[in-house]
Amino acid sequence: MHRHTFFKNGGVLAVLIITGVLSTSTVMAAPVITEYNITSPGATATDIVEGSNGNLWFTEQATNKIGEISPSGAVTEFTVPTASSGPTGITSGPDGNIWFTEENAGKVGVFNIATSTFHEYSLGATFPVGITSGPNNDLWIVEQDGLAVAQMNTSGTVLNSFETTYGGNYITEGPDGNLWITANAHIIKMTPTDIQTVYSIPGASPAAIGNIVVGSNNNLWFADSTDNSIDQVTTSGVFTRYAVTTASSSPEFVAKGPDGNIWFTENTGNNIGSVTTAGTFNTYNIPTAASAPLGITTGPNNTLWFVESAVAANKVGEINNILIPTTPSASTTAATATTAGTPDTGYGAPRHLSVAVLALIVSGIIAILSAGGLAIKRSFSKH
């Protein structure tokens, strides 16, 4: 057993320096945007989601396809059986397959990842747009022209069709277990048994035409495209508005990022933005000009992915190098606790500095302090 004793003020300073060495964290640069070309020209990609296989899946409205892109940027496309169906909204289903709406055909489609096969289920002339996995492990679909929300099981059977006053655009399950729907100037909260509460979005000319997501603070977040803001609403209907820093940027789609912030696409501003739950913004320019970004989602390895809908752009973008906030590391706690004799817990299994390593660290500290005219007495006693 070795005992290390530090004397006088120099010893205290040495402990603090060691703490700093053990708890040093890497400062990351700004997020980096990488773009990948969609194989089919003029795809008009609209929405995107991470699939159960770890790849990203997106809808191609104009080319009538579902696209798949791997984290390395390899794109594969699959043609929807119904011609000119207008694939729009997309989600990863409770069965692990990819579900999407066929806006022009009035259908819901499902793509089986394992077998690379499609199935389609008709909703009638209802103009389905948004779709999400929700309560009861069912799919919930917004029927814009049908002024309804359909509940469908994974066998393709429509269990219910609940009428809504304002139709709607996109839908998600909230932290309260209810369905939350963007409906232009309104947000609709609907229980799984069809008790609806309609909230008017405050603002001059609000229009929530994109999606809605649950934030890290358990509020609902969406983009108000005409009032150029990112808004949050509590489950009791209290709104807070944050003005986007880019003028007339037309924010449309949002996602909760791996950093806990809300990330969004600026459709005319040609930026990807982020806002903290306290309202602090950051903006990152998309390399391709006038790319008209729309859907955005989280991906593997702390990334975000988005689609560029402009015909001339026709890309999928990846956002990497996102700074993930960390709580004080275990090594910091351990180093501080060393003065009280508490073992260094590290991440998981205990970590210990060998005597040789500690001696090297202390020797370096002594050299630094000696150069400044300070002296440290050191004693190592062996038992």
Q: Which of 192, 140, 143 is nearest to 164 (CA)?
A: 143
CA dihedral of 365, 371, 374, 375, whole degrees rounded to 10: 60
Q: Which of 284, 326, 289 is nearest to 308 (CA)?
A: 289
Q: What is the largest CA-CA distance in the chain?
A: 85
Same domain, 88 and 151: yes
pLDDT, tens digit (0-9, with 9 covering 90-100), for 116-165: 999 999 999 899 999 999 999 999 999 999 999 999 999 999 999 999 99
- Tell me if 306 sits within 8 A of 265, measured CB to CB: yes
Backbone conformation region of residue 201, classed left if phi is above 0, alpha if psi is from -120 to 50, else beta: beta
Same domain, 115 and 16: no
* Structure tokens belonging to residue 227: 């009032």
Domain final position from 298, 320, 342? 320
- Tell me if 233 sits within 8 A of 262, measured CB to CB: no
Query: CA neighbours within 13 Å on the CB side: how many for 334?
Result: 17
The pLDDT of residue 204: 95
Q: Which domain holds residue 13?
A: 2-25+328-382
- Tell me if 274 sits within 8 A of 282, measured CB to CB: yes
Mean pLDDT for 204-227 is 98
* Structure tokens belonging to residue 295: 């859907």
Decide if pLDDT at 337 tops 60: no
pLDDT band at 29 (very low <50, low <70, confident <90, very high): low
Same domain, 172 and 153: yes
Same domain, 232 and 375: no
Same domain, 20 and 101: no
C-alpha distances in angstroms, 150 versus 107, 130, 336?
A: 11, 11, 57
Q: CA 326 to CA 23: how far, in whole Å?
A: 12
Q: CA 177 to CA 155: how far, in whole Å?
A: 22
Same domain, 355 and 253: no
Cβ within 8 Å of residue 302, ≥6 positions away: 258, 259, 322, 324
Same domain, 361 and 264: no
- Counting the structural domains of the chain, the total is 2
Give the CATH number, domain containing residue 61.
Answer: 2.130.10.10
Mean pLDDT for 75-101 is 98
DSSP-H helix ranges across 248-354: 330-337
pLDDT, tens digit (0-9, with 9 covering 90-100), for 250-303: 999 999 999 999 999 999 999 999 999 999 999 999 999 999 999 999 999 999
Q: Which of 75, 50, 51 is nearest to 256 (CA)?
A: 50
Decide if pLDDT at 173 tops 80: yes
Decide if pLDDT at 21 tops 90: no
* Structure tokens belonging to residue 58: 């997106």
pLDDT, tens digit (0-9, with 9 covering 90-100), for 155-164: 999 999 999 9
Q: Which of 182, 208, 179 is nearest to 196 (CA)?
A: 179
Same domain, 222 and 371: no
* Structure tokens belonging to residue 8: 């006088």
Cβ within 8 Å of residue 124, ≥6 positions away: 106, 146
Q: CA 34 to CA 30: how far, in whole Å?
A: 13
Same domain, 116 and 160: yes
Same domain, 66 and 87: yes
Same domain, 183 and 100: yes
Same domain, 36 and 119: yes
* Structure tokens belonging to residue 82: 């119904």
The pLDDT of residue 370: 45
* Structure tokens belonging to residue 135: 């309560």
Domain final position from 274, 291, 320? 320
Domain final position from 304, 320, 336? 320
